[in-house]
Structure 1
Amino acid sequence: MEDSIYQLPPGSRALVTGATGFTGSLLVRKLVQQGVEVVAIARPTSNLEPFEGLNIEWLRGDVFDENLINKAIQGVNYIFHMVTPFRDPKLKDIGYFNVHVLSTQLLAKAALKEPNFKRFVHVSTIGVHGHIENPPADETYRMKPGDIYQETKVEAELWIRDFAPKEGLSFTVVRPAGIYGPGDKRLLKIFQMVNKKWVPVIGDGSNLYHFIHVDDLTNFMICAATHPKAEGEVFICGSPEAMTFEKMISIIGDVYGVKAQFLRLPAAPLFALGYVFEILCKPLGIQPPIYRRRVAFYTKDRSFNTSKMRNILGFNTAHSDVEGIKETAKWYADKEWVSLKKA
Structure 2
Amino acid sequence: MKILVTGATGFTGHNLAKRLLDDGHEVRILVRSKKRVALASHPLLDIREGDIRDRDAVRDSVNGVEKVFNIAAMFRSAKSVDQDYHDIHVKGVKHLLEAALEYNVARVVHCSTVGVHGDVKNPPATEESPFAPADIYQRTKLEGELWAREFAAKNGIALSVVRPTAIYGPGDLRLLKLFKLAARNVTPVLGDGKMFYHMVYIDDLVQGFILASEREEAIGEVFIIGGAENMCLDDLLNTIAQILNKPRKILHIPALPFQLAGSLCEKICIPLGIEPPIYRRRVDFFTKSRSFDIAKAKAKLGYQPKFGLKEGLELTATWYRQQNLL
Q: Tell me which interval the TM-score lies in, with the shorter structure as reference length.
A: over 0.9
Tell me what 1:59 maps to. 48
Partner of residue 219, structure 1: 207
The within-5 A match list for 1:89-104 is: 89-104=78-93
Give the count of matched residue pairs.
Answer: 325
Matches within 5 A, 1:63-78: 63-78=52-67
Deviations 1:233-273 (A, max 9, x none): 00000122321111111111112211143233222221111
1:159 aligns with 2:164: no
Q: Indicate the residue corresponding to 2:165 in structure 1.
A: 177
What do residues 39-67 of structure 1 show as CA deviations (whole Å, max 9, x unaligned)? 1111137522x223134222222211011
Measure, in 2, the Cα distance between the counterparts of 1:243 and 1:77: 39
Code of the aligned partner of 2:56: N
1:247 has 2:215 as partner: no
Q: Which secondary structure does the structure 2 equivalent of 1:68 belong to? A: helix
Q: d(CA) in 2 for partners of 1:302 and 1:257? A: 27
Which residue is equivalent to 1:308? 296
- 2:97 aligned residue: 108
**2:3 — aligned with what?**
14
Q: What is the TM-score normalised by the length of structure 2?
A: 0.96
TM-superposed deviation, 1:284:
2.1
Per-residue CA deviation, residues 176-210 of structure 1 (Å, 9 max, x unaligned), is 00001111111101212222323221122111011
Q: Distance in 1 between matches of 2:80 and 2:34?
A: 15
Look up the match of 1:9.
none
TM-score, length-normalised on structure 1? Answer: 0.92
The answer to whether residue 272 in structure 2 is matched with residue 288 in structure 1 is no
Contact persistence 2:229–2:308 (CA under 8 A): no
Residue pair 2:242, 2:248 contacting (<8 A) in 1 also = no
Give 1:22-37 correspondences, 5 Å limit: 22-37=11-26
Q: Does 1:81 align with 2:81?
A: no
- For 1:136 and 1:196, how far apart are their aligned partners in 2? 30
Corresponding residue for 1:192? 180
Out of 307, 315, 320, which is 1:327 matched to?
315
214-223 or 50-59, which deviates more: 50-59
Unmatched tracts of structure 1, length 5 or more: 1-11, 339-343
Contact 1:190 1:199 in 2 (8 A): no
Q: Which residue identity is paired with 2:195?
A: N
Q: CA deviation at 1:286?
A: 2.3
Q: Which segments of 5 or more consecutive residues in structure 2 lack a partner in the other structure?
A: none
Point out the more displaced range, 206-215 or 237-246: 237-246
- AA matched with 1:14: I
How far apart are the structure 1 equivalents of 2:45 and 2:204? 22
Letter of the 1:250 counterpart: N
Name the SS of the counterpart of 1:137 in structure 2: coil
Structure 1 residue 285, shift from structure 2 partner: 1.6
RMSD (Å) for aligned C-alpha atoms: 1.3
Asked if 2 retains the 8 angstrom alpha-carbon contact of 1:202 and 1:264, the reply is yes
Using the TM superposition, name which of 168-177 and 198-207 deviates more: 198-207
Moved more, 21-30 or 52-61: 52-61
CA distance in 2, matches of 1:45, 1:278: 33
Aligned to 2:189: 201
1:44 aligned residue (10, 24, 33): 33
Q: Distance in 2 between matches of 1:257 and 1:240?
A: 24
Whether contact under 8 Å (2:193, 2:252) holds in the other structure is no
Identity %: 41
Native 8 Å contact 1:241 1:303 kept in 2: no
Pairwise CA distance, 1:88: 2.1
More displaced 10-residue stretch of structure 1: 301-310 or 193-202: 193-202
Instruction: Give the match's secondary structure for 1:200.
Output: strand
Counterpart-to-counterpart distance in 1, 2:10 and 2:33: 14
Distance 1:167 1:17 in 2: 22
The separation in 1 between residues aligned to 2:14 and 2:202, in whole angstroms, is: 10
